[in-house]
Amino acid sequence: MQLLIDKELSSEDKILKPDFNSKTGRELLAFYLQSKFKQILAYDKKCETPIFNEVSPTFISRFSKRLINSPTKRFLIGITGESASGKSTICKEIKRAIEHFSLPVTVLSTDNYFNDISDLIKKYGSFDNLTDNGYDIDAPESFQMDLLRNDLQALSRGETIMAPKYVPNGTGVSIQHAQEIPSNKIVVVEGIATMYEQVRDIFDVKIYVETKDDIRRERYLRRAQTERNQNEENAIKQWEYIVSAGQKYVTPNRDFADFVLDGNSDLKYFDQILEYLNTVTNNFG
């Protein structure tokens, strides 16, 4: 990938920078990006460990229409995948890379849109007792989906929102209007609810991250014990629920993704792809 970046920077065969305020200029940019994106995919297929497991055959045409017809709309990227798939890591890497290019970016986690279940936890005595009695924490109805949709639409229009904050300490408390989230040109949204049916149509780019189950299990159990202070028995019990819930609620959204990425891929290579995209969108004659 570094060879593509160097070739782009050293090439004397460059197009004149189009006027992005005109439809003609945006059409030229869309055509230009289509050709460059096809180069990325062709290169990735030849890699020993490609990052793109699947790419929607309609993505390029849809993205081009979006670029041409809605130039002022904020650019929303949705990232989802099963627990411990690597979606949070890729989200952080996208944010870091975008900021490195001096571009403003907003990051929002859909985990903050869990319902407030503090009263239910008090009633049953603990979070574990609540889930043992059938509460399905990963189900769409366990999220404030209407609020999430309204907030995403507001961000896409360029409006600042006051998002809720879910407190991940076992109390089930959700604090409303707790976080001011600005609407920057690029908005990255991460979490298992990102591609639930109620909101998936809002995103300009939908990314599904997947990783082999044995790697996910190892990651999850390690985090549960080192970061959340869970004992091994409780962590394994939650892992078994997560696998079942993931197959029921998260995995079906893979079919709606524009990109299915390998969550165990080399982040340095992923950074180079982002750098190449930034290069080709700014490297005009």
Q: Are residues 159 and 234 in the same domain?
A: yes
Identify the three-state secondary structure at position 188: strand
Query: In the structure, what pLDDT confidence band is assigned to residue 207 with cuts at 50, 70 and 90?
Result: very high
Q: Are residues 34 and 151 in the same domain?
A: no
The helix-helix angle for 2-10 and 267-282 (nearest 10°) equals: 20
Region 193-215: mean pLDDT is: 96
Q: Are residues 35 and 67 in the same domain?
A: no
Q: How far is residue 51's CA from residue 266's CA, in Å, rounded to a whole number?
A: 8
Q: Are residues 42 and 169 in the same domain?
A: no
For 234-269, the pLDDT digits (tens) are 889 889 999 999 999 999 999 999 999 999 988 888
CA distances from 44 to 28, 39, 98, 265 (A): 25, 9, 21, 12
For 72-110, the pLDDT digits (tens) are 899 999 999 999 999 999 999 999 988 988 888 999 999
Q: How far is residue 90's CA from residue 139's CA, in Å, rounded to a whole number?
A: 24
Region 29-50: mean pLDDT is: 90
Q: Are residues 260 and 137 in the same domain?
A: yes
User: How many C-beta atoms surround the C-beta of residue 54 within 10 A?
Assistant: 14
Region 46-75: mean pLDDT is: 91
Segments forming the whole domain that contains residue 37 = 1-51+265-285
Q: Are residues 225 and 120 in the same domain?
A: yes
**Is the sign of the CA dihedral 235, 240, 243, 247 positive or negative?**
negative
- Give the whole-number percent of the chain exceeding pLDDT 90: 65
Q: Are residues 110 and 242 in the same domain?
A: yes
Query: In the structure, what pLDDT confidence band is assigned to residue 285 with cuts at 50, 70 and 90?
Result: low
Q: How far is residue 175's CA from residue 167's CA, in Å, rounded to a whole number?
A: 8
CATH of the domain at 78: 3.40.50.300
Region 183-198: mean pLDDT is: 96
| Residue 171 exposed, middle or buried by CB count within 10 Å (0-12, 13-18, 19+) | middle
Q: Are residues 126 and 95 in the same domain?
A: yes
What pLDDT, on a 0 to 100 scale, did the predictor assign at position 19?
85
7: its two tokens: 């070739």
Relative to beta strand 174-181, strand 161-166 is antiparallel
For 138-172, the pLDDT digits (tens) are 999 999 999 999 999 999 999 999 999 999 888 99
Q: Are residues 40 and 139 in the same domain?
A: no
DSSP string, 106-172: EEEEGGGGBPP-HHHHHHHSSHHHHHHTT--TTSGGGB-HHHHHHHHHHHHTT--EEEEEE-TTTT-
Q: Are residues 125 and 34 in the same domain?
A: no
Query: In the structure, what pLDDT confidence band is assigned to residue 231 with cuts at 50, 70 and 90?
Result: confident
What pLDDT, on a 0 to 100 scale, did the predictor assign at position 277?
85
Amino acid code (one letter) for 219: R
Q: Are residues 238 and 283 in the same domain?
A: no
Q: How far is residue 178's CA from residue 25's CA, in Å, rounded to a whole number?
A: 41
Q: How far is residue 105's CA from residue 92's CA, in Å, rounded to a whole number?
A: 11
Region 176-184: mean pLDDT is: 97
Cβ contact 199:79 at 8 Å? no
Average per-residue pLDDT for the chain: 91
**Comparison of pLDDT for 262 and 33, the residue scoring more:** 262
Region 125-129: mean pLDDT is: 91
Q: Are residues 30 and 170 in the same domain?
A: no
pLDDT at 280 over 70: yes
Q: What angle do CA 10, 14, 19 make, to 5 degrees?
A: 135
The number of domains in the chain is 2
What pLDDT, on a 0 to 100 scale, did the predictor assign at position 284?
67
Q: What angle do CA 207, 211, 213 make, to 5 degrees?
A: 140
Identify the three-state secondary structure at position 186: strand
**Comparison of pLDDT for 19 and 141, the residue scoring more:** 141
Amino acid code (one letter) for 143: F
